[in-house]
């Protein structure tokens, strides 16, 4: 598994724990790494970039997700889907280092692996709308 793919998977697990427990994200991160000490430095660094980026930009990211998820509130979304969307939306909106196609494809793969059978389609639909809207905003 590629390092960034593994980092996204770890970020999802940490953000899932954060969402479910309500504990601070730093505490969820600490507990995860306490039980998983063998990761390479690059994996830890990129997963930290994602989890703390999502945390820092949560309000704006959630607003954008909600704005493109017609007839869905964040609370109604499955916890996995919601956090996959947060990671990918953060990458689309705030991380110039990730091509949009990569962020979307990685999110779809995560949703298929950890979500239910419709998660991949659900995530793809919302991220595609977000990506198009951001492209339209960037190109007058």
Q: How far is residue 1 CA from its own chain's centroid?
A: 18
Q: How far apart are the first and last CA of the chain?
A: 39
The CATH number for 28's domain is: 1.10.940.10
Per the structure, the count of domains in the chain is: 1
Q: Tens of pLDDT along the chain (140 residues)?
A: 699 999 999 999 999 999 999 999 999 999 999 998 877 999 999 999 999 999 999 999 999 999 999 899 999 999 999 999 999 999 999 988 899 999 999 999 999 999 999 999 999 999 999 999 976 664 44
Distance CA 53, CA 90 (A): 7
**Model confidence, pTM:** 0.93
**pLDDT at position 137:** 61
Distance CA 114, CA 24 (A): 23
Distance CA 140, CA 68 (A): 20
Residue-range definition of the domain harbouring residue 56:
3-138
Distance CA 31, CA 29 (A): 5
């Amino acid at each position: 598994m590629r390092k960034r793919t593994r980092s996204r998977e770890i970020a999802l697990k940490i953000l899932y724990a954060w969402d479910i427990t309500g504990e601070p994200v730093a505490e969820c991160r600490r507990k995860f790494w306490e039980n998983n000490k063998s990761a390479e430095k690059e994996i830890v660094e990129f997963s930290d970039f994602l989890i703390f980026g999502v945390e820092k930009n949560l309000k704006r990211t959630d607003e954008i997700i909600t704005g493109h998820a017609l007839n869905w509130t964040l609370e109604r979304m499955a916890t996995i889907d919601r956090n996959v969307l947060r990671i990918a939306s953060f990458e689309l909106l705030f991380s110039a280092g990730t091509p949009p196609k990569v962020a979307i494809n990685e999110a779809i793969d995560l949703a298929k692996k950890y979500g239910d059978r419709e998660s991949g389609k659900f995530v793809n639909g919302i991220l595609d709308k977000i990506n198009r809207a951001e492209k339209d905003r960037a190109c007058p």
